[in-house]
C-alpha cells in the first residue's frame, strides 16, 4: 500500500483522521521498532523532513535522509534501479520530487510502501494534515474552504481531500494557473461541492476558511516577475478577508510575507498556520502506523 495521491486514502481517510486525533491527544503509538523510513528528497524541506523524522522516532523506528546528490541517482543511476535497491534495505520511502512522473516510476518498481512527500502534481500529506486541522478547529467539514492563488500541488490535493470528506471548496486562480483538470474531474465525480473560478472575491464570500500558498514554488524562480504580475489581485489581505465569514487563515508554509499574504493577516488571531504545521507530525505518525 502506498500514498501517491490524496485519492489513495479514500478508503481509510476517516480512520486516519481519527487516529491522528488520538495520537495528538497522547495515545501511545503503535511501535515500529527496527523499521526504517527513507527520505529521498530532491527539494529542500523544513516541515516535511523534520516531521517525518520525528514521527519515525516517536514510533521507535529510524529514518535516513537521502539527497540525490549524495547517492548514485545523482550520477545517473535509473529511478527503477534505485527503487529496486532501496526496497531491499528500507521498510518505506517518502519521496519529494520535482516531477510526479519520477514518483510514479519509483513506485512502479518498489516493493515497499511509497509516500508522496510532494511532487509538482500533489502534496497529499499536507492536505491530510490540513483536513485534520479543519476538523479540529471546526468540528467537522460542514464548512466552506476558499483557496486563493496558484492552482498548484497543494491546491490539487486539497481539492481531492475536500471532495472525499464532502466539504465545500471554492478555488480562485488567475487564468492559466488553474488546478490540474484531471484532479478536478475526479473530485467532481465524487462531490458536487467543488468550484473553480477566477474571482477571488466570489471565492471567499461566505467562506469560513481561506487558504493560500506561495506564488513562486521551488523550480519556478525564473518566472518570478511574470507570476507576481499575474497574481496581482489574488493576495490574501485584510480587504479580501473582510469579504469572508470571519474566516480562519491557512497556509502550508513557508510564506512569502507581502506577496501571497500580508503580514498582518498571517500573524492575526485568525491564523492557524502553525497548528497546520504541528499537525503534519500527528498525521504522519498515523499514516506511518498504517503503511508500516
Catalytic residue chosen out of the listed positions 49, 58, 251, 252: 252
62 is catalytic: no
Catalytic residue chosen out of the listed positions 123, 227, 251, 282: 123
Read off the pTM.
0.95
Alpha helices in 77-117 (DSSP H): 79-86, 100-109
Domain ranges of the chain: 6-122+280-291, 125-276
Match 529521498 to its residue by C-alpha cell: 40
Domain 125-276, CATH 3.40.50.1370 — does that match? yes
The yes-or-no answer to whether 6-122+280-291 and 125-276 have a common fold is: yes
Q: Are 166 and 191 in contact (CB under 8 A)?
A: yes
Each of the 292 residues of the chain gets a pLDDT tens digit; together they read 999 999 999 999 999 999 999 999 999 999 999 999 999 999 989 999 999 999 999 999 999 999 988 888 878 899 999 999 999 999 999 999 999 999 999 999 999 999 999 999 999 999 999 999 999 999 999 999 999 999 999 999 999 999 999 999 999 999 999 999 999 999 999 999 999 999 999 999 999 999 999 998 767 777 889 999 999 999 999 999 999 989 999 999 999 999 999 999 999 999 999 999 999 999 999 999 999 9
The fold adopted by the segment(s) 6-122+280-291 is Rossmann fold (3.40.50)
Catalytic residue chosen out of the listed positions 96, 100, 121, 282: 96
Catalytic residue chosen out of the listed positions 126, 130, 155, 227: 126
Q: Pick the closest to residue 235 from 205, 204, 208 (CA basis).
A: 204
**Distance between CA 7 and CA 9 in Å, rounded?**
5
213 is catalytic: yes
142 is catalytic: no
155 is catalytic: no
Catalytic residue chosen out of the listed positions 213, 235, 251, 282: 213
Give strand pairing partners of 169: 145, 194
Amino acid at each position: 500500500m502506498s500514498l501517491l495521491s490524496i485519492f489513495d486514502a479514500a478508503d481509510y481517510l476517516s480512520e486516519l483522521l481519527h487516529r491522528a486525533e488520538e495520537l495528538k491527544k497522547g495515545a501511545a503509538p503503535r511501535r515500529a521498532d527496527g523499521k526504517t523510513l527513507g527520505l529521498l528528497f530532491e527539494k529542500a524541506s523544513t516541515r516535511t523532513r523534520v516531521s517525518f523524522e520525528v514521527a519515525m522516532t516517536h514510533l521507535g523506528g529510524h529514518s535516513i535522509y537521502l539527497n540525490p546528490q549524495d547517492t548514485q541517482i545523482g550520477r545517473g543511476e535509473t529511478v527503477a534501479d534505485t527503487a529496486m535497491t532501496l526496497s531491499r534495505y528500507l521498510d518505506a520511502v517518502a519521496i519529494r520530487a520535482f516531477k510526479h512522473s519520477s514518483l510514479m516510476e519509483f513506485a512502479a518498481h518498489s516493493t515497499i510502501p511509497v509516500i508522496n512527500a510532494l511532487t509538482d502534481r500533489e502534496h497529499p500529506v499536507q492536505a491530510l494534515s490540513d483536513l485534520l486541522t479543519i476538523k479540529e478547529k471546526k468540528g467537522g467539514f460542514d464548512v466552506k474552504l476558499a483557496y486563493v492563488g496558484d492552482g498548484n500541488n497543494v491546491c490539487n490535493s486539497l481539492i481531492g481531500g475536500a471532495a472525499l470528506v464532502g466539504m465545500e471548496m471554492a478555488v480562485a486562480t488567475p487564468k492559466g494557473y488553474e488546478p490540474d483538470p484531471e484532479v478536478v474531474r475526479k473530485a467532481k465525480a465524487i462531490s458536487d461541492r467543488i468550484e473553480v473560478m477566477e474571482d477571488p472575491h466570489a471565492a471567499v464570500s461566505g467562506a469560513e476558511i481561506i487558504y493560500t500558498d506561495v506564488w513562486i514554488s521551488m523550480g519556478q524562480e525564473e518566472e518570478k516577475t511574470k507570476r507576481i504580475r499575474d497574481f496581482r489581485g489574488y493576495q490574501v489581505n485584510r480587504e479580501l478577508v473582510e469579504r469572508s465569514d470571519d474566516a480562519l487563515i491557512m497556509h502550508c508554509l513557508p510564506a512569502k510575507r507581502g506577496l501571497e499574504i500580508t503580514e498582518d493577516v498571517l500573524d492575526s488571531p485568525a491564523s492557524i498556520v502553525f497548528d497546520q504545521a504541528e499537525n503534519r507530525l500527528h498525521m504522519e505518525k498515523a499514516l506511518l502506523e498504517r503503511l508500516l
